[in-house]
Amino acid sequence: MRKLTSLQQVRRHIITVIILVIFCFPLYWAIINSIKTPIETFAGSWVPFFQFKPTLANWMKELGNWETRRALTNSTIVSLCSTGIVLFVGTLAAFSLAIFKFEKMKNQDITIWFLSQRVMPPVIFIVPFFLIMKSLKLIDTLYALILVNVTFTLPFAIIIMREIFRGIPGELTEAALVDGASYWQIFYKIALPLASGGLVATGIICLALVWNEFIFALSLSYDEAILMPVLIAGGEHTRGVQFWFVAVRVLLTMGLPMAIALFVQRYLVKGLTLGAVKG
């Protein structure tokens, strides 16, 4: 590998800092505005304790707001339930595609069909899903949001887990079959433990997709089943956008995914790098 000169290293560091500032600025904006008063929000002050006195009044109001607590609870329930169903069904389907060979329809064709479900834009399904949920009387319920999120997140989990299961040596499966193990025993005693890192990584990604989903959350709910992305978008009132409340809602929305990602960081890195190195 060619050694970089001092000028090239400086240039690379400058570019890295610029990119870091661009990506971190929205988070800084949310943190700063969440501890400002409404007047200070429009004053252009950015340095706490020097240009303005920080306050937790916005946090206290939002945490005491019943609508915010309900939206945060709804998002947590929908995300965790959807991710749980997706991982359970997706790992079974992925294991089947990785182990068995189908005759009428090839495994590769089935995988491409699942992939096509992620390629199509979800916006074209808003009206059909709205009519279906209306006929089932599920509009403005958490059940409708869970069903929709499972439908659009499941193909992603199947594709990822299929590749992870395919990376498991076939000799292990053959040896287990010779010893009298069933395919179900091979699945939960051999395949799942070996693919635990990939399973955690897939779960985190699916959780993020469900947690940030906005289109269906907006079209299928209006009161009882409001989620955090919809609540953030509704931060505009007759007096304009209340940036101080929007900032608190943004940070609250980031809280659960960040906490889970930090908690399973060791497994997440292992899952994302699974199969990257072959020796």
Pair 50, 103 in one domain: no
**Do 25 and 163 fall within a single domain?**
no
Q: For the whole model, what pTM was predicted?
A: 0.82
Q: Are residues 238 and 115 in the same domain?
A: yes
Same domain as 85, residue 15: no
Q: What is the CA radius of gyration of the chain?
A: 23
Confidence tier at 139 by pLDDT (50, 70, 90): very high
- Asked whether residue 153 is assigned to any structural domain, the reply reads yes
Q: Do residues 83 and 13 both lie within one domain?
A: no
Mean pLDDT across 253-261: 83
Number of domains in the chain: 2
- Per-residue pLDDT of 191-224, as tens digits, reads 888 888 888 888 888 998 999 999 999 999 888 8
Query: Do 116 and 189 share a domain, yes or no?
Result: yes
Asked, for residue 122, whether it belongs to a domain, the answer is yes
Q: Tell me, yes or no, whether 104 and 131 share the same domain.
A: yes
pLDDT score of 272: 54
Residue 236 has pLDDT above 70, yes or no: no
Domain of 265, CATH number, reads 1.10.3720.10
Claim to verify: residue 26 and residue 77 sit in the same structural domain: no
Residue 22: domain span: 6-55
Are 126 and 221 within one domain?
yes
33 & 83 share domain:
no
The verdict on residue 277 lying in a domain is: no
Residue 279 lies in a domain: no
Domain stops at, among 21, 37, 55? 55
* 1-28 pLDDT per residue, tens: 456 677 778 888 899 999 999 988 988 8
Q: Which is more confidently placed, 160 or 50? A: 160
Q: What is the model's pLDDT at position 278? A: 43
181 & 68 share domain: yes
Same domain, 263 and 201: yes
- Taking only the tens place, the pLDDT of each residue in 148-187 is 999 989 988 988 888 888 888 878 888 888 888 888 888 8
